[in-house]
Amino acid sequence: QIYLMIFEEKCMYYNNNEPNTTLLVMHNTNEPKLDQRVKEQIDVQYDIKILNPQNLQILENKFTGNGIIKTNITEQGQYKLCFSIHIENEENTEKKLKEYKRQSKRVDINITSMLEMEKENNLNKLDETIQRSSRLLNKVKAAKSQQDGSQYRRNIIEQKITNIGKWYKILTMLSVTIYVSLSFIASSRIKTYLRNQKM
């Protein structure tokens, strides 16, 4: 984002690392930001100049509104982009020109290249793929964790049932043993009692 005064020039720089690509200059011109002392707005002309790493001008163009300026570049290095605004109607008096010089225009500028745009789009797609994969992996982990938890609970229940079965068998055998022992003792005592009665 840059602010330009009338007849003022501001430059930006772009470092190109590709041997052959298309330079993209996206622009958006807004309503002028007026000084309180300025009573009227004026129509201006927006200009752009692009210089290659050897400082030779490769493009001069006019622009306004929202749009993209495309330029093929074949050299690696630093490109210079200069922006300026001029009054379209030059029939103004010197007094008005002095007044207009207090006006400034805001221009939104974004400089990139076609290859960078493609890389950025590819990276965005890669990020989306990674995010989708991550979400899917988390769902699988959650499902597996739930399944593992259910399996763990089933194993504990089965183990308890097995233990109960073992204790049931032990208690049954112990009960039979006690019953047989008590029956034997009772039978012996009854026989002894009857023998004593006969005597």
Residues 109-120: tens digit of each pLDDT = 888 888 877 777
Query: By the 8 A CB rule, do 33 and 106 touch?
Result: yes
What is the distance between the alpha carbons of residues 161 and 107, in angstroms, rounded to a whole number?
A: 79
Q: Could you read off the pLDDT of 47-96 as tens digits, one per residue? A: 999 999 999 999 998 888 788 888 889 889 999 999 988 776 655 556 55
> What single DSSP character describes residue 33?
B
- What's the average model confidence in pLDDT over 122-135? 61
Query: By the 8 A CB rule, do 16 and 116 touch?
Result: no
pLDDT of residue 77: 92
For the chain, list the domains and their CATH numbers.
2-118 (2.60.120.380)
Q: Could you read off the pLDDT of 30-48 as tens digits, one per residue? A: 655 544 555 555 667 789 9
- What's the average model confidence in pLDDT over 123-134? 61
pLDDT of residue 64: 81
Mode of pairing for the β-strands spanning 44-51 and 21-29: unpaired
Q: Judge whether residue 185 has pLDDT over 60.
A: yes
| Helix H or strand E segment including 101 | none
State the pLDDT confidence band at 125, using cuts at 50, 70 and 90.
Answer: low
CA distances 44 to 40, 106, 170, Å, are 13, 12, 103
Q: Judge whether residue 136 has pLDDT over 70.
A: no
